[in-house]
Amino acid sequence: MKAFLGSLFYTSVFKSNHENTKSIFATDGSGREIFRCVMSQFRFLTLLNYIRFDDSNTRSQRLETDPLAAISEMFKLFNNCKKAYAPGAYLCVDEIVLDLSEVNAYALYKTCTAVRDIPRAQFLQNLAYSLVLPHLKRRVYNYRLPRELRLTIARVLSPNKPPEPVTEPSESTEAARKTCKICPSRLKRRTKYNCIECRKSIYLGYSKTICVDWVDDK
């Protein structure tokens, strides 16, 4: 979820709040590669479509008595919001909310830290990067992803790229492999296959393919 929020902040960094997602995730050089590094376009649109601040099943009933039913439960969680904002009939809940969160985060950052001269655009970019960074570190060595995408993620991470994890064979897999009884001992060939007759461990190079029907007859 943090990675998704970071992607939303990146739309503000690139001034692409109203840009078509196809152009944002484009692979012809015109898109922003950070979005493809974080998640696929399908996943981004899925999260954007299904994330809600309330229960959509009961929204129609609550709208009869509460015009702000879509966000009222979330709004009540922040008591200070009531002091600063008075929602009315023309309340806009879209990119404006995201812009306000950027301004508030920027003001709090300057107040609570010794940094005073950081530009707002740079702060917003740092914020977005910090949100997507843990997710990028997990994806860079996900070998189910295309190699080109993993190289792009590694380039985006640059000095923050984690070391490649060392994968060791599990004990159960190693225990199941035994030394071939036919191969010379100096070769130390280990195999997980056994002879169907004597049950000895045997290397596939010394095996012979036979018909299943013949085995059943035997």
Task: State residue 114's pLDDT score.
Answer: 63
**In this structure, how many other beta carbons lie within 10 angstroms of the beta carbon of residue 128?**
24
Residues 109-167 have pLDDT tens digits of 665 666 667 777 788 888 888 899 999 999 998 888 998 999 999 998 988 888 877 66
Task: State residue 143's pLDDT score.
Answer: 86
Q: Which residue has better confidence, 51 or 209? A: 51
Query: What is the DSSP code string of 95-146?
Result: HHHHHHHHHHHHHHHHHHSS-----HHHHHHHHHHHHHHHHHHHHTT-TTS-
Residue 170 has pLDDT above 80, yes or no: no
Say if pTM beats, i.e. exceeds, 0.85: no
Q: Which two tokens stand for residue 99?
A: 């812009």
So where are the chain's domains? 2-160, 171-217
Task: State residue 98's pLDDT score.
Answer: 45
Residues 12-71 have pLDDT tens digits of 888 887 888 899 999 888 888 999 999 999 999 998 888 877 777 888 888 888 877 777
Residue 199 has pLDDT above 60, yes or no: yes
CA–CA separation, 9 and 85 (whole Å): 22
Give the Å distances, CA to CA, from 113 to 74, 102, 162.
Answer: 28, 16, 28
Question: Residues 6 or more apart from 155 whose CB is under 8 A from it?
Answer: none
Task: State residue 95's pLDDT score.
Answer: 47
Q: Any idea of the CA torsion for 1, 116, 84, 52, to the nearest 10 degrees?
A: -10
- Compute the residue count for the chain: 218
Q: Which two tokens stand for residue 37?
A: 């590094």
Task: State residue 61's pLDDT score.
Answer: 86
Task: State residue 125's pLDDT score.
Answer: 85
Residues 84-105 have pLDDT tens digits of 666 666 666 554 444 455 555 6
